[in-house]
């Protein structure tokens, strides 16, 4: 689910709750009466959107961790190549000096 759809769903839910609060006002009806099917269904949709968002974020985290692991492995390989090249260069320079 896209961020805009999630944000729209959350905005709708918050707007619905605010409208309900403004219509009934504090203390005018008991909480059970205020908890209408419309609000309940809106909250269910919001929960579902948040669950989808959580899954999406978890997938992005895992993907990013895998990319970082691959980059760290590549970095280690490059560091090993550099160290070996430096050692080879020292050997060649030593051989040139001892000619």
In this prediction, residue 60 carries a pLDDT of 95
Which candidate, 71, 69, 90, places its Cα nearest to that of 79?
71
CA angle, corner 70, sides to 74 and 86, nearest 5? 10
Q: What percent of the chain has pLDDT over 90?
A: 56
Task: List, for residues 16-61, the tens digit of each pLDDT value.
Answer: 766 666 665 555 555 555 568 888 888 899 999 999 999 999 999 9
Structural domain that includes position 65: 3-97
Task: List, for residues 49-92, the tens digit of each pLDDT value.
Answer: 999 999 999 999 999 999 999 999 999 999 999 999 999 999 99
Q: How far is residue 25 from each of residues 12, 37, 68, 92, measured CA to CA in Å? A: 19, 18, 52, 86
pTM comes to 0.55
What is the spatial distance between Cα 68 and Cα 61, in angstroms, rounded to a whole number? Answer: 10
- Domain total of the chain: 1
In this prediction, residue 36 carries a pLDDT of 82
């Amino acid at each position: 689910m896209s961020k805009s759809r999630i944000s729209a769903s959350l905005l709708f839910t918050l707007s619905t709750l605010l409208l309900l609060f403004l219509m009934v006002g504090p203390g005018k009806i008991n909480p059970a009466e205020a908890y209408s099917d419309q609000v309940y269904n809106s909250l269910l949709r919001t929960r579902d959107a948040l669950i989808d968002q959580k899954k999406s974020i978890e997938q992005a985290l895992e993907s990013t961790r895998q990319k970082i692991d691959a980059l760290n492995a590549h970095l280690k390989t490059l560091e090993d190549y550099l160290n070996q090249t430096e050692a080879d260069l020292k050997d060649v320079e030593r051989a040139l000096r001892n000619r």
